């Protein structure tokens, strides 16, 4: 079994290698504890660190742990896990292939066990549509668009690219980022899938560990992660209006209150935020907030979808990410997901600093 397959288990050849190992997954999960342990570690590391940690020293265990990790992700059946897992695997692949590319460039004459750019491009059928130029690469626009779909920074927007003859210019580093996206989307493809009972039963304890890690993480997020910088443009605008003391129509007030509540703010925090606005009596604000939160009503209300926001004229200042999400919560979730913990801590410290100096 090649080490390359263990290093890059998403490759077609690695899938074949798993098949030719002549193992059925049910036997592996029942009899090969080392594989299951490594699979669980993969998923937990993806959640906690955003990447997959060091490889197992035995390539066979490393390789087989990948399909088992996919089974575990499928069993937990949470969209956020699928996304975080695929991103972590892709981020790890990115670090590895960049290291391999450097090595293959430096040691051209030495037989390498790593991956080279041509091989990775052909893995994703990209060779015919990526052309090397003197300054970098050009990629066919039809291929570029889906690959750059989840890269929401302005630089990836087609309007900021010198599109010519149906090709988009990209630097070497940008091409590597697009390849990371290709890896991510392959890993995400087909997840979650139905897991046969016999396999699910054998893996139930491991899936429970992952659910716990996920729950801890979500709890932390729900309570702590209120980062106005990452709010969708519509909610930023409504929050600005409130803080300027403007009177908001009922539907707008409902939208921002439900959003703040959905991201985990308490009634007291929301009331504090609204207190700045003289047009909100505290009692009425508290009553409305409790009602929306479901504390004084049978229903916890959700923030309106983008379609509803649009129909009320509350959808403003749309950006690129807006074109790809159906709901302001999805926008926020994606921005929070993309921000790493350090960035979030920086924002929090900035906030603390501001409020400390403002006091
Ligand atoms: S598209 Fe959705 S998230 Fe973006 S501004 Fe409009 S309502 Fe808000």
Tens-digit pLDDT profile for residues 302-358: 788 888 899 889 999 999 999 888 889 889 888 887 776 666 666 666 655 554 343
The torsion angles phi and psi of 67, rounded to 5 degrees, stand at: -60, -30
Tens-digit pLDDT profile for residues 153-180: 668 878 889 999 999 999 999 999 999 9
Tens-digit pLDDT profile for residues 75-120: 998 877 888 899 899 999 999 999 999 886 655 544 456 789 999 9
CA of 87 from ligand 1 middle (Å) equals 24
Q: Which of 45, 146, 50 is nearest to 339 (CA)?
A: 50
Q: Average per-residue pLDDT in the chain?
A: 84
Distances (CA, A) of 115 to 71, 95, 105: 26, 12, 11
Pocket residue to mutate for ligand 1, from 256, 305, 322, most atoms within 8 A of Cβ: 322
Q: Is the peptide bond before 192 cis (omega within 30 degrees of 0)?
A: yes
CA of 232 from ligand 1 middle (Å) equals 6
The torsion angles phi and psi of 14, rounded to 5 degrees, stand at: -70, -40
Pocket residue to mutate for ligand 1, from 330, 331, 335, 336, most atoms within 8 A of Cβ: 331
Residue closest by Cα to atom 1 of ligand 1: 322
Least confident of 50-64, 232-246, 268-282: 268-282
Judge whether residue 4 has pLDDT over 60. Answer: yes
- Rounded CA-CA distance 299/297 in Å is 6
Is residue 35 a contact partner of residue 202, using CB atoms and an 8 Å limit? Answer: no
pTM, two decimals, is 0.66
The predicted structure's pLDDT at residue 357: 40
Q: Could you state, in order of their start, the residue ranges of all structural domains in the chain? A: 3-111+174-197, 228-356
Residue closest by Cα to atom 8 of ligand 1: 234
Bridge partners of 131, per DSSP, are 138
**3-class SS of residue 280:** coil
Q: Is 67 in the pocket of ligand 1 (CB under 6 A)?
A: no
Least confident of 73-87, 251-265, 296-310: 296-310
Cβ contacts of 131 within 8 Å, gap of 6 or more: 137, 138, 139, 167
Cβ contacts of 110 within 8 Å, gap of 6 or more: none
Pocket residue to mutate for ligand 1, from 152, 230, 231, 232, most atoms within 8 A of Cβ: 232
Atom of ligand 1 nearest to the CA of 235: 8
Q: Is 309 in the pocket of ligand 1 (CB under 6 A)?
A: yes
């Amino acid at each position: 079994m090649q080490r390359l397959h263990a290093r890059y288990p998403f490759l077609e050849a690695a899938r074949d290698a798993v098949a030719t190992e002549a193992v059925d997954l049910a036997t592996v999960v029942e009899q090969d504890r080392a594989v299951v342990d490594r699979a669980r570690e993969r998923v937990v590391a993806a959640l906690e660190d955003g990447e997959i940690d060091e490889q197992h020293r035995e390539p066979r265990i490393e390789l087989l742990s990948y399909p088992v990790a996919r089974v575990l992700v499928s069993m937990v059946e949470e969209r956020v896990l699928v996304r975080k897992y695929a991103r972590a695997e892709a981020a790890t692949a990115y670090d590895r292939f960049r290291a391999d590319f450097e090595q293959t460039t430096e040691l051209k004459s030495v037989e390498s066990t790593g991956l080279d750019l041509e091989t990775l491009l052909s893995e994703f059928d990209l060779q015919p549509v990526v052309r090397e130029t003197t300054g970098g690469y050009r990629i066919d626009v039809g291929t570029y668009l889906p690959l750059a779909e989840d890269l929401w920074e302005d630089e990836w927007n087609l309007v900021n690219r010198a599109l010519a003859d149906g090709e988009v210019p990209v630097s070497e580093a940008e091409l590597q980022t697009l390849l990371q996206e290709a890896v991510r989307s392959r890993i995400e493809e087909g997840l979650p899938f139905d897991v046969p009972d016999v396999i699910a039963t054998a893996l139930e304890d491991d899936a429970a560990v992952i659910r716990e890690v996920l729950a801890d993480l979500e709890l932390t997020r729900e309570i702590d992660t209120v980062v106005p910088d990452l709010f969708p443009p519509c909610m930023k605008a409504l929050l600005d209006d409130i803080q300027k003391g403007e009177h908001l129509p009922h539907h707008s007030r409902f939208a921002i209150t439900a959003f703040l509540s959905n991201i985990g703010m308490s009634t007291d925090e929301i009331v504090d935020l609204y207190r700045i606005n003289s047009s909100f009596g505290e009692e009425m604000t508290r009553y409305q907030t409790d009602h929306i939160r479901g504390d004084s009503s049978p229903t916890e209300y959700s923030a309106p979808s983008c379609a509803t926001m649009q129909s009320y004229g509350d959808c403003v200042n749309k950006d690129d990410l807006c074109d790809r999400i159906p709901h302001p919560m999805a926008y926020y979730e994606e921005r929070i997901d993309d921000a790493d913990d350090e960035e979030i801590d920086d924002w929090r410290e900035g906030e603390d600093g501001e409020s400390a100096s403002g006091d």
